[in-house]
Structure 1
Amino acid sequence: MKKAIICGYYGQGNAGDEALLLAILARLPHHIQPIILSGNPIKTTKDYQVISYSRLSIIKQILKAEKKDLFIWGGGSLIQDVTSIKSPIFYLGLMILAQLKGLKTIAYAQGIGPIKTTFIRWLTKQVLTRCDGVSVRDRESAKLLEKWQIKFFLAADPVWALSSKINQDFNLLPSPRIAVNIRSHPTLTPSKLEIIIQALKQFQQQTLANIILVPFQKLKDLEICQYIGEKLKENYQIVNIENPQELKGLFREVDLLVGMRLHSLIMASSEKCPCFALSYDPKVSNLMSEIGLDGYELEHLPPQANVITEKWLKIYQNKAHLSDNEINSLKQSALKHQNLFDSFI
């Protein structure tokens, strides 16, 4: 049996990356055995019934692999140096090792960049040039690979095609509900966070909505959700959901999402939930542009809470969401990434 070593930001408690892994596993041909790089191999094995290894152990798996086997960069923004230069060096290093071993290498549904370091840009170009298959999930990544003259294809993020589930045990507060996904980030300064909280209070006063605070990564989101809850004082709840399909299903029960994280916006949009984006990263801005999503760049957040509230009210009252045709088109596009496996079946 062929093996596929799949590397990504898995086992780190990030719901978006877990959703990507689940979407990839759903599309991997049945005769290919997945081996997953994870920050928490025991949990990854338990959650997905797959073989999983930590960072050092995954290197041993690459060295043990045969030339018929695959090495896959799982979907997401693995190659960017804004957060840290260590991360792209690690993932690039694994890909280089796999290529030196003669494995078939695939960059799957990647969001390339931002890359500010000249060396990382050069190394990324060299590595992608040697890949057997490359797909990207946004137009800006596509433009970069066109500039580098690397063969690739563009398709929507795999999470668009991830199936959703309804968990009847959520015990959500009554409708109307506004979901809020906020994460800590340097662009979300204390003063901007206070403006957003004031806008939420005003929205509640005018709609009598309950606020559903949805952390996507407990380590980075939960504390700020708790802070917002303390400021709201009432008519809110924090909903922690680990299962990506149940998390996606949550947005069927919500009347509006105010979201920072990319995959909160993708999940909600795919479930016909009206959305408003707070962009902290080019990947969120790219999504806003590509699907016509309203929102603000956090760097340009209006200082008046009522201006933000009025924007939310307009979307909420108009029930502005993607059409069935638009959603189906994005889902079909997301499925195209699995074409990368065609030559290895």
Structure 2
Amino acid sequence: MPSVVISGYYGFDNWGDEAILEAAATGLAGAVPGVEITVLSHDPAATLARHGLHAVNRSDPAAVWRAIRRSDMLVSGGGSLLQDVTSTRSLWYYLGVILMAQHLGKKVMLYANGVGPINRRLNRSLARLVLDRVPLITVRGPSSERLLRELGVTAPRVVVTADSAFAIEPAPLERVAAICEAEGLPDIGDHRQGRVVGVAVRPWRGSRNIERVVARAADYISGKLGYRVLFLPVHRRVDLAAVEAVRAEMQQPSYLLQGSYSAADTVGLLSRLRWILSMRLHPLIFAAVGGVPAVGLVYDPKVHEFLAEAEQVSVGPVERTTLEDILLGITEVEKDYSNRVVRLGQVVARFRERARLNNTLAAELLNL
């Protein structure tokens, strides 16, 4: 039976990355019948419990070596693994795993990667040396393709696809209703008549006042527009402090999603929102899959690229975002809501087709 090792930011209880893994594993299993999948995870037991996938400790070099040695192919991704904004250490880790697979003579695919930014000269040179020996790279946007060319990565086949999360099918309304009941959330209903708006924030070193600005915007959403506000801590251990800082600044009541759910459950829940205000990329993607418009706060080029390609409202860089910017974005969504929903459905259909291409290409490489 064919065997694949998947490397990524897994086992850290980040909704977005766990959704990427869920969609990638499901897609690969559909494209490659009988495939055996092993995940490099921060928490192998949690990965097994959540996804039903065998996993090894990503921080144990011997375990990683053995897993890759027994496999036919390494799948690196998806997500923004190859960048040095968060840290150089993480970039070196993912390049090191790829280099290990290459040393062992295994096939390697970069799967729906968001590449960059890679700013340091040494890191750019290392990325070029390692990635130029990868036979197949799929990227989730044109900017990643451009950066690879700028780095001098010319040998691999590079295909612009989409984030694997676009392939997720939302959970049915009955499941969403059960989540709302368990969480003590209001009945969400259908987003076109919905009265709940989602808000996703994260800490960011360049945005000292963003919590206060978002709090004022959330008060406007609740007090003036009459919507309930639901906060979504995507990476709980990282985002919760920022969420609570915003809620502490608010005058109006709000709700907080407490549990950790499957990607299908999360997409199902977000598909019932009226619209979403988000810094994080994957709540924007989840909402889009559910046909829900967005107002985006840009902290990273990947968020800007998605908002532009999906034709969603951007209020610009989070470092300079004002309350007036957010309120203008909200007004823009509300005044043309029905047309935005229709256009978003058309755009997402194209994203979903591109997301499925990741698995087709992986199967072709594995079967060579």
Which TM-score applies when normalising by structure 2?
A: 0.88
Q: Percent identity?
A: 25
User: Aligned Cα RMSD in Å?
Assistant: 1.8
Contact kept? 1:276, 1:312, Cα under 8 Å = yes
1:294 aligns with 2:313: yes
1:283 aligns with 2:296: no
Report what 1:7 is aligned to.
7
**Equivalent residues in 2 for 1:95-114 (5 A)?**
95-114=98-117
- Which is further off, 202-211 or 2-11? 202-211
Tell me the distance in 2 between the aligned counterparts of 1:244 and 1:217: 13
List runs of 5+ in structure 2 lacking aligned partners: 188-193
Report what 2:248 is aligned to.
230
Q: For residues 78-103 of structure 1, what are the alpha-carbon distances to aligned partners after superposition, in whole Å with 9 as ceiling and x for unaligned?
A: 11111111101111111111101101
Q: For residues 129-158 of structure 1, what are the alpha-carbon distances to aligned partners after superposition, in whole Å with 9 as ceiling and x for unaligned?
A: 111211111111111223422421001111
In the TM superposition, residue 233 of structure 1 has moved relative to its aligned partner by 4.8
SS at match of 2:170: coil
Report what 1:92 is aligned to.
95
Letter of the structure 1 residue corresponding to residue 53 of structure 2: V
**Equivalent residues in 2 for 1:29-44 (5 A)?**
29-44=32-47
Letter of the structure 1 residue corresponding to residue 207 of structure 2: L
Letter of the structure 2 residue corresponding to residue 42 of structure 1: A
**Equivalent residues in 2 for 1:153-168 (5 A)?**
153-165=159-171, 166-168=175-177
Tell me the distance in 1 between the aligned counterparts of 2:83 and 2:22: 22
SS at match of 1:36: strand
Contact kept? 1:203, 1:313, Cα under 8 Å = no
Contact kept? 2:198, 2:276, Cα under 8 Å = yes
- Which is further off, 133-142 or 119-128? 119-128
List runs of 5+ in structure 1 lacking aligned partners: none
Report what 2:186 is aligned to.
173
Tell me the distance in 2 between the aligned counterparts of 1:145 and 1:80: 12
Contact kept? 2:214, 2:246, Cα under 8 Å = no
In the TM superposition, residue 192 of structure 1 has moved relative to its aligned partner by 2.7
Report what 1:121 is aligned to.
124
CA distance 1:65–1:15, shift in 2 (3 Å): closer
Report what 1:144 is aligned to.
147
Q: For residues 69-120 of structure 1, what are the alpha-carbon distances to aligned partners after superposition, in whole Å with 9 as ceiling and x for unaligned?
A: 1111020111111111110111111111110110111111111110011111
Tell me the distance in 2 between the aligned counterparts of 1:66 and 1:227: 46
Contact kept? 1:181, 1:259, Cα under 8 Å = yes
In the TM superposition, residue 122 of structure 1 has moved relative to its aligned partner by 1.2
Q: How many aligned residue pairs are there?
A: 342
Contact kept? 1:178, 1:212, Cα under 8 Å = yes
**Equivalent residues in 2 for 1:170-319 (5 A)?**
170-171=180-181, 172-173=185-186, 175-189=194-208, 191-242=209-260, 243-295=262-314, 296-302=316-322, 305-319=323-337
